[in-house]
Amino acid sequence: MQRLVIAALFPIALFLNSPAFAQTVHAIVFDDGKASMTEINAKVGDIVAFYHMDEDEAHQLYSTDEDHKFDVKHIFKNGDHFDIQISSPGSFDILCHAMPHMKITVNASD
């Protein structure tokens, strides 16, 4: 059974490692009540990685955009890490439940 699973995954792994599917990780650090970036230009398939390094503030990140919906439901606090993958093109805003002024715009292209 184990062997079957590995055999099934192997072609997918090769496919993802080919240069045509090179994936960029856009790391955003949250500290001092701020995000390290307020705008990201990304490609479909890229990862946006949130790193919470804030001693004083809790951030709760979400997007209500139809094609890029997510919500970090738990309290996102110091030391936490959370990734989203860009699944389709378009621009959307990442907002924060805890801070109405916090906004990170993601421009995703094919």
Binding positions for Cu ion, rule: CB under 5 A? 59, 96, 98-99, 102
**Rounded distance, CA 92 to CA 3, Å?**
41
Q: Which residue of the chain is nearest Cu ion when measured via CB?
A: 96
**Rounded distance, CA 69 to CA 62, Å?**
7
Beta strands 47-52; 25-31: pairing state: parallel
84/96 with CB nearer Cu ion: 96
Q: Taking a C-beta distance cutoff of 8 angstroms, is the pair 108, 44 a contact?
A: yes
47/99 with CB nearer Cu ion: 99
Q: Shortest approach of Cu ion to residue 59 CB, angstroms? A: 3
Q: Taking a C-beta distance cutoff of 8 angstroms, is the pair 30, 50 a contact?
A: yes
56/110 with CB nearer Cu ion: 56
Q: Shortest approach of Cu ion to residue 42 CB, angstroms? A: 20
Written as one string, the DSSP assignment of 81-99 is EEEEE--S-EEEEEEETTE
29/44 with CB nearer Cu ion: 29
Q: Shortest approach of Cu ion to residue 24 CB, angstroms? A: 23
Q: Shortest approach of Cu ion to residue 30 CB, angstroms? A: 6
